[in-house]
């Protein structure tokens, strides 16, 4: 049997490279020169008893991964070990025969020295044996390792302390060709425990069961399944709020868009009205004011939603406002209509304006050719110019037509000053004779739309003719129409037309003449006096 030259303990096998007692590296040269007697430490047994860890028994840790990227610049124990005294009568465990130093601590039996770590001066690298394993350098004896502290928690050990070169426990071993690197890197002094990577295809360590010896009835603890957040009340409420917000947001956007769109408005004014609504007739105008239209846009007017083609289009200013006069022509039918307006952008007034189109002369509108309105009262001075169809003598007379206006649609009435149904006397000279006439007349006439139509009935008429001191008398035989006058205005203040007196028959006491007849026709002109 061979013995360790440092502690004198018997080596576990002939091929051992490390002492099972002190853990020192054993080289071939060292074995040759090792003493065959025990060391002076008589209290330490030399029997090849298994080294025991001074810690409570724990479950075997998972095997360490063989990471080829871990540094291999030196060998270090992961923990300090305290060798227990062995019972002399204790038998050697079967697996002790193959025990090599360091295997208990998770490292390989052969340590590959780092080629980057320089050797102390004067040190000669150990020779490389044929087996390819380098021989460890000799080192002086050192005291045994201190005892390991009991872990604070079961299964968790404090970080290992790596002895430095200054302690003299280990020395750097230069790298040798053919050597194998250690499976893990040496732990740094003061470092925290490092996580052990899981082996490919393996299972991670599990938490120890709460009850020693196995899991409770029913199998391992399964955490409660958590319901999806959207299935909870809070999730549903939040989702509903989001949906409502999206809907309201869209509605709000539409509302804002609608609020910012042009909302055209028009107002219509006129000099004429039917009730409280604006009115007009042919040749009159409607004053239209618009706002909130598109800026600098052409404006089209619509009557009952139909464009007024005869009207020139208005143009709004940059603020969407405009003022325009619509001239009513004969294409506008008589009656009530709705007037609207639309700009080039297609924005139309939502509310139309009611307008009344009337016959010229009604609603105080002027008649044709700017004649007085139907409800206007005025006097028309008329000059009759004609000829007596019986005698052939010219006929000239003056009369005043009195036009009295009435509310629509009646129109005006026409009469003369004396045509009131009572006798009236009038004197004059004709052909050197003085004529005195006492007549009772009745008028009937109308004025409407600039037209005059007047009839005057002669109810009673007596003529007294005085010539050369003699007086003769003629009496109207029958009641007949005396005058029929018709005509129209040619302008705002002038009118013209024709007249016909009809045939009048009288009975006379004139010697040689028992009857008289007259029939005057001609034209007339009139002037509006007031």
Q: Is residue 225 a part of any domain in this protein?
A: no
Residues 271, 413 within the same domain: no
Q: What is the pLDDT of residue 140?
A: 56
Q: Is residue 391 a part of any domain in this protein?
A: yes
Residues 277, 242 within the same domain: no
Give the Cα-Cα-Cα angle 300, 304, 310 (nearest 5 degrees).
Answer: 45
Residue 71 · residue 190 · CB < 8 Å: no
The helix/strand/coil state of 29 is helix
Q: Alpha-carbon distance 458 to 294, whole Å?
A: 69
For residue 318, with 0-12 CB atoms within 10 Å meaning exposed, 13-18 middle and 19 or more buried, which class applies? exposed
Q: Is residue 61 a part of any domain in this protein?
A: yes
> How many Cα atoms occupy the beta-carbon half-sphere of 249 within 13 Å?
6
Q: Among residues 295, 325, 358, which one ends one of the domains?
A: 358
Q: Is residue 470 a part of any domain in this protein?
A: yes
Q: Dig out the tokens for 463 from the structure.
A: 């003529």
Give the Cα-Cα-Cα angle 34, 39, 42 (nearest 5 degrees).
Answer: 155
Residues 42, 148 within the same domain: yes
Q: What is the pLDDT of residue 469?
A: 86
Query: What residues contact 529, with CB distance under 8 A and at least 6 apart?
Result: 378, 379, 380, 381, 400
Residue 443 · residue 456 · CB < 8 Å: yes
Q: What is the pLDDT of residue 95?
A: 43
Residues 17, 95 within the same domain: yes
Residue 165 · residue 186 · CB < 8 Å: no
> How many Cα atoms occupy the beta-carbon half-sphere of 331 within 13 Å?
9
Q: Alpha-carbon distance 165 to 185, whole Å?
A: 16
Residue 322 · residue 362 · CB < 8 Å: no
Query: What residues contact 31, with CB distance under 8 A and at least 6 apart?
Result: 2, 5, 11
Q: Among residues 334, 358, 382, which one ends one of the domains?
A: 358
Structural domain for 242, as ranges: 233-262
Residue of 253, 273, 478, 306 whose CA lies nearest to 373? 273
419, 424, 429, 430 alpha-carbon torsion, rounded to 10°: 50
Which position has the token pair 């060709």? 177
Give the Å distances, CA to CA, from 77 to 27, 39, 102, 126, 443. 19, 24, 7, 22, 149
Residue of 122, 123, 116, 128 whose CA lies nearest to 74? 116
Helix (H) or strand (E) holding 520: strand 513-528
Residues 269, 402 within the same domain: no
Residues 174, 258 within the same domain: no
Residues 493, 403 within the same domain: yes
Residues 258, 273 within the same domain: no
Q: What DSSP character marks residue 268?
A: E
User: pLDDT (tens digit, 0 to 9) for every residue of the chain, 530 residues total?
Assistant: 678 878 888 877 777 778 878 888 876 554 444 444 444 444 444 444 454 444 445 555 555 544 444 444 444 444 444 444 444 444 444 444 444 444 444 444 444 444 445 545 544 555 555 555 555 555 555 555 555 555 545 555 555 544 444 444 444 445 455 545 555 545 455 545 555 454 555 555 555 555 555 555 555 666 666 767 667 787 788 888 888 888 877 666 666 655 556 789 999 999 999 999 999 999 899 999 999 999 999 999 999 999 987 777 899 999 999 999 999 988 899 999 999 999 999 999 989 999 999 999 999 999 999 999 999 999 999 999 999 888 888 989 999 999 999 999 999 999 999 999 999 998 988 888 899 999 999 999 999 999 999 999 999 999 998 988 889 999 998 877 778 999 999 999 999 999 998 888 889 998 888 888 889 999 999 999 87
Sign of CA dihedral 304, 307, 311, 316: positive
Residues 322, 255 within the same domain: no
Residue 518 · residue 501 · CB < 8 Å: yes
Q: Is residue 223 a part of any domain in this protein?
A: no
The total of other beta-carbon atoms located within 10 Å of residue 369's CB is: 15
Q: What is the pLDDT of residue 78?
A: 44
Which position has the token pair 């004067």? 122
Number of domains present in the structure of the chain: 4
- DSSP, residue by residue, 356-389: EE--TTGGG---GGGPPPTT--EEEEEEEEEEET
Residues 57, 117 within the same domain: yes
The pair phi, psi for residue 363, each rounded to 5°, is 55, 35
Give the Cα-Cα-Cα angle 472, 474, 476 (nearest 5 degrees).
Answer: 170
Residues 340, 441 within the same domain: no
Helix (H) or strand (E) holding 322: strand 322-327
Sign of CA dihedral 137, 140, 141, 143: negative
Q: Dig out the tokens for 511 from the structure.
A: 């010697």
Residue 180 · residue 70 · CB < 8 Å: no
Residue of 310, 370, 319 whose CA lies nearest to 343? 319
Q: Dig out the tokens for 309 from the structure.
A: 């083609």
Q: Is residue 25 a part of any domain in this protein?
A: yes
Q: Is residue 171 a part of any domain in this protein?
A: yes
Q: Is residue 192 a part of any domain in this protein?
A: yes
Residues 239, 269 within the same domain: no
């Amino acid at each position: 049997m061979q013995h360790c030259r440092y502690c004198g303990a018997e080596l576990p096998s002939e091929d051992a490279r490390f002492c099972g007692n002190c853990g020192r590296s054993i080289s071939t040269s060292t074995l040759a020169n090792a003493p065959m007697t025990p060391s002076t430490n008589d209290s330490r047994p030399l029997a090849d008893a298994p080294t025991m860890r001074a810690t409570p028994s724990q479950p075997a840790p998972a095997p360490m991964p063989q990471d080829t990227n871990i540094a291999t610049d030196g060998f270090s124990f992961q923990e300090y070990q305290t060798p227990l005294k062995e019972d002399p009568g204790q038998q050697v465990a079967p697996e002790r025969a193959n025990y090599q130093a360091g295997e208990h601590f998770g490292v390989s039996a052969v340590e590959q020295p780092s080629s980057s770590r320089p050797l102390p001066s004067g040190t000669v690298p150990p020779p490389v044996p044929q087996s390819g394993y380098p021989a460890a350098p000799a080192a002086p004896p050192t005291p045994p390792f201190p005892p390991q502290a009991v872990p604070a928690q079961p299964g968790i050990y404090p970080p290992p302390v790596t002895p430095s070169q200054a302690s003299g426990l280990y020395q750097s071993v230069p790298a040798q060709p053919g050597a194998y690197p250690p499976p893990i890197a040496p732990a740094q002094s003061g470092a925290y425990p490092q996580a052990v990577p899981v082996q490919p295809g393996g299972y991670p360590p599990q938490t120890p069961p709460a009850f020693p010896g196995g899991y409770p009835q029913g199998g391992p603890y399964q955490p409660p399944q958590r319901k999806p957040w959207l299935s909870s009340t809070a999730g549903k409420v939040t989702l509903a709020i989001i949906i409502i917000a999206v809907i309201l947001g869209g509605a709000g956007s539409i509302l804002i868009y609608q609020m910012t769109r042009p909302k055209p408005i028009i107002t219509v004014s006129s000099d004429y009205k039917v009730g409280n609504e604006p009115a007009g007739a042919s040749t009159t105008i409607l004053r239209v004011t618009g706002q909130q239209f598109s800026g600098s846009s052409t404006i089209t007017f619509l009557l009952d939603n139909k464009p007024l083609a005869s009207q020139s289009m208005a143009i709004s200013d940059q603020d969407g406002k405009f003022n325009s006069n619509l001239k009513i022509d004969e294409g506008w039918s008589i009656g009530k209509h709705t007037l609207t307006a639309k700009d080039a952008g297609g924005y139309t007034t939502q509310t139309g304006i009611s307008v009344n189109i009337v016959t010229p002369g009604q609603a105080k509108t002027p008649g044709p050719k700017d004649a007085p309105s139907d409800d206007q009262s005025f006097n028309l001075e008329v000059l009759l110019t004609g000829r007596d169809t019986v005698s052939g003598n010219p006929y000239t007379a003056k009369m005043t037509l009195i036009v009295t206006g009435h509310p629509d649609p009646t129109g005006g009435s026409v009469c003369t000053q004396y045509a009131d149904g009572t006798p009236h006397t009038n004197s004059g000279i004709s052909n050197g004779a003085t004529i005195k006439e006492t007549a009772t007349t009745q008028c009937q006439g109308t004025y409407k739309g600039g037209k005059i139509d007047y009839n005057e009935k002669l109810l009673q008429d007596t003529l007294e003719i005085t010539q050369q001191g003699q007086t003769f008398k003629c009496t109207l035989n029958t009641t007949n129409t005396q005058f029929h006058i018709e005509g129209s205005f040619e302008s705002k203040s002038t009118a013209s037309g024709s007249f016909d007196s009809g045939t009048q028959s009288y009975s006379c006491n004139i010697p040689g003449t028992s009857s008289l007849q007259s029939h005057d026709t001609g034209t007339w002109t009139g002037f509006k006096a007031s």
